[in-house]
Structure 1
Amino acid sequence: MPAKKDPQTRLIDAAMDVAAAGRWHDVTMIDIAQSAGVDIGVAFDHFKSKADILRQFVRRIDRIVLADLDPADFNEPGHDRLIAVMMARFDALAPYRPALRSIVASGGDLGPADTLRAIKTHFGSMRWMLDASGFTTGGLHGSLRVAGMGTIYARCFKQWLEDETADFGPTMAALDRALSRGSEWDKRIGTGISRLSRVCGKIQKKCDRFAQRCRRADHTEQTSPSAENRSTAP
């Protein structure tokens, strides 16, 4: 007998089921709780809104993709590995395509605050996907890299939703092209940031030297005989 799913898992599954059956905008938390066979109070303990459910769904997909990584692939070129990771993400999402179409058609049914949290979740996922592919995501360059990956993924996701091929070949081809273009921009950004860092370093050194000269001049003025005479003058 299969193990009974926990309420959170049942609620996420139910949300995807009711989204696939109708307009996500019309779905309520009560609809989801009833479909999951979960008491509405228990549902409230786990999720405060449909947006909460969507964020946890995204995290579920993250876990599926990351758990399926093969350490033997870590030495592959970053471009190839990133394509493999992102296509694995699409494979994990495949069973939920009808639900995702409904959710996308309703814009996720998100308010302003939920939209900001959704963006944060989206970029968090992209950071993990890049990390899993061997790309660094720290600092300014890393943040720009995450933002670029988020844009690429969003575009390819829309194509994937309508991709009816068995292997999602057109989506993979579009992803390959977008990542190749992104790689060129990534190199330019990296070069630009390195140059900017060197210039900022030189400016900082000049500022430090100027500050040191000012401190020495101030110290000399304070300890000079004329300064002592001024301090003892009636």
Structure 2
Amino acid sequence: MLPLSFTRVSMMMQSATGAEQTVQIFAKLADEAWQQLGARPLAALSLHEIAQNVGVDDALASAVAGDPQRLVLGKMVALDNQAVLESFADIEDAGEISIREKILEALMHRFEVYAPYRVQIEAVNRAARTRPDLGVALGLNLQHVTRRMLAMAGDSCEGWRGMLRIKGVVGVVMMVARDWMKDDSPDLAPTMKALDRRLQQAEEWAISLRLFRQGEQQQADSGRDDAAAAGRYGVDND
């Protein structure tokens, strides 16, 4: 008879392996759903067809994914994770730059990551008009990734001031997304210009509403002064 401790360890290892397999299967299904979304509306996606195309059993696909909408949202979370981690590496390599430049870099890179998928984003936006739950999920996901980006840049997200700043940046992203959808330039320079302008407007509102503490306001002022002195829009887009 095996010791109880050995049995527990064995069960934990099996559980971890099962969790990893679930993540892998979900990612495979999500990639296929995302690809199909580039050619048809969300309502036309079939979990059966998605599963069949990647060789996953129907019952297993239902257990892992639930429905195509969840797969699409999962793919967007994966893209957000990619954008945050790549921005983190870029910011670490950049050395001493202002919080404002870090935020601008992170937000801009997210637009770059999503650039090949404008058709999918348009399909998601159309679907959200008739699916309130999808709209809520998209809003919460955007708020979550924005919080991560601000925290990564060194901006405090604590308390009511932090929450309002997060919501302000979310509003900036949503407004700039309209320019981004029409931006076919190779370097997304119009998107960068719009993002910089909207961020500056948001900073001015935040200062007027006293959403920055004293030290944070000095950093915000310094970041704007640095950008103006450099004669460019935030960080380089390369």
**Is the aligned partner of 1:121 residue 2:141?**
yes
TM-score w.r.t. length of structure 2: 0.71
Question: Alpha-carbon deviation of 1:94?
Answer: 2.0
Residue equivalent to 2:63:
45
- Give the corresponding residue for 2:17: none
Q: Report the counterpart of residue 49 of structure 2 in structure 1.
A: 31
Q: CA deviation at 1:145?
A: 0.7
* Distance in 2 of aligned mates of 1:129 and 1:192: 17
SS of equivalent residue, structure 1 residue 21? coil
Question: Could you say what secondary structure the match of 1:177 adopts?
Answer: helix
Q: CA deviation at 1:149?
A: 1.0
The residue aligned with 1:57 is 75
1:18 is matched with which residue?
Answer: 36
Which residue number corresponds to residue 9 of structure 1? 27
Q: Which residue of 2 aligns with 1:230?
A: none
AA at the equivalent of 1:172: M
Distance change >3 Å, CA 8–CA 192, structure 1 → 2: closer
Distance 1:116 1:102, change over 3 A: closer
Shift, 1:134, TM fit:
1.9
Give 1:143's aligned residue. 163
Aligned twin of 1:169: 189
1:130 match: 150
Distance 1:104 1:186 in 2: 28
Shift, 1:155, TM fit: 1.5
Q: Which deviates further from its counterpart, 171-180 or 117-126?
A: 117-126
Is the 2:34–2:72 Cα contact (8 Å) retained in structure 1? no
AA partner of residue 114 (structure 2): L
TM-score (norm 1): 0.72
Amino acid at match of 1:77: S
Query: Partner residue of 1:203?
Result: none
Q: Out of 126, 131, 136, which is 1:105 matched to?
A: 126
Partners of 2:178 and 2:133 in 1: CA distance: 23
Identity among equivalent positions (%) equals 22
SS in 1 for 2:187: coil
Equivalent residue number for residue 217 of structure 2: none
Q: Which runs of 5+ in 2 are unaligned?
A: 1-22, 215-238
Which deviates the most, 174-183 or 129-138? 129-138
1:90 shift after superposition: 1.3
CA shift at 1:177, angstroms?
0.2
* Kept after mapping to 2: 8 A contact 1:25/1:109: no
Residue identity opposite 2:182 in structure 1 = E
Q: Does 1:90 align with 2:108?
A: no
What's the CA shift string for 1:42-65, capped at 9, x where partnerless?
222222233322332232122212
* Alignment size in residue pairs: 190
Distance in structure 1 (CA, Å) of the matches to 2:209 and 2:76 = 29
Deviation for aligned residue 1:192: 8.8
Task: Supply the AA of the counterpart residue of 2:128.
Answer: G
Change (3 A) 1:191 1:161: closer
Match of 1:210 in 2: none
Unpaired segments of 5 or more residues in structure 1?
Answer: 195-234
Kept in 2: contact 1:24–1:108 (CA 8 A): no
Residue 153, structure 1, aligned to residue 169, structure 2: no
Structure 1's 191 and 55: CA in aligned 2 closer, same or farther, altered over 3 A?
closer
Larger radius of gyration: 1
In the TM superposition, residue 185 of structure 1 has moved relative to its aligned partner by 1.1
Give secondary structure in 1 for the equivalent of 2:171.
Answer: helix
Q: Cα RMSD (Å) of the superposition? A: 2.5
Q: How many angstroms does 1:175 deviate by?
A: 0.3
